[in-house]
Structure 1
């Protein structure tokens, strides 16, 4: 009985250590999350100023990885203070009611050396969709660098209501780009 308890305790400690060893801390100074869209057929890239990224990643066991991203929708900087206020309004992100857009992974699978396929749920403005996208990962000076681009349709998430549903001014296609640097 004592041996079984010791084995259970050792096993639990091993799981706890493995989980804590895999949790990476994001370096916000070196990381970015942005949205790329076309306005009047001109590409525009705007960065989100506030977001959190939680990544549990072990290069030796990428299939056991997990990721959660939360982006404060009112933090999108389109380069003009008045326009920043506009995109936080109800017609766009409705940041008062939906202050965060979230992504929670359900599966991260190795695709090839340095490449992963990520599946999960993306929620923006109360709308949730299952998504899959490719991701690259590389070691850099003791840290991991995760990069990817996720194409979405803004209207599927009700981003741009009323007169803004017209895609002649702002295209429906948006790419969420990210560059996340994280380490122990």
Structure 2
């Protein structure tokens, strides 16, 4: 009997992002950050959240081209709110978390574009690396830089959803990764 659940937030990832400063990179403040992935199963949106990730960002709005930002996401931490679904997603048909325990995202550039930045990075998931483009907003708030945005990735580009799950009439190929990453403003402590 086939389990119905959804496939994959990938993301991963991700999507991550965050820009730079002329100082040392600041670690992501996990308690004030999130990384979600939404896919459609039978055309019904399903959202899960990656519960374990870390990263750092070095961003200066006066020199955004010098951004340095990295995100590591524990593949097995994708949570749909059901232990059986989570176990299935960590398995070989989806994230293959035993073989590929983490996804990584590295920002390679950001460029000002109106009231936001246009970012680009490289997402590695299940051993495959692809370029990802995404809009990102940067807000200064209470001694923090907060980076928010969304990116759409194609899960099959990363081999996520094997066997019957490769059928995009069951689980759509597009996955929307939404992120909020907070770091201490350069020169500030957490």
* TM-score normalized with structure 1 length: 0.85
Q: Are positions 1:160 and 2:164 aligned together?
A: no
Equivalent residues, number:
165
Structure 2: runs of 5+ lacking an equivalent: 1-20
SS at match of 2:86: helix
Normalising by structure 2, report the TM-score.
0.82
The structure with the greater share of residues assigned to helix is: 1
1:138, CA displacement in angstroms? 0.9
* Shift of residue 106, structure 1, vs aligned partner: 1.6
Q: Which has the higher contact order (CA 8 A, sep 6+)?
A: 2
Say whether residues 1:18 and 2:22 are aligned partners: yes
Q: Take 2:31 and 2:22, find their aligned partners in 1: how far apart are those partners?
A: 27
Which residue number in structure 2 is paired with residue 129 of structure 1? Answer: 130
C-alpha distance in 2, partners of 1:18/1:160? 41
Q: 1:135 and 1:97 mapped to 2: Cα distance? A: 31
Q: Deviations over 1:110-131 (max 9, x none)?
A: 2234x11111211110111122
Contact 1:149/1:177 (8 A) holds in 2: yes
Secondary structure at the aligned position of 1:85 is classed as helix
Instruction: Indicate the RMSD between aligned Cα atoms, in angstroms.
Output: 1.4
Gaps of 5+ in 1: 1-16
- 4+ runs of 1 displaced by more than 6 Å? none
How far did residue 103 of structure 1 move?
0.9
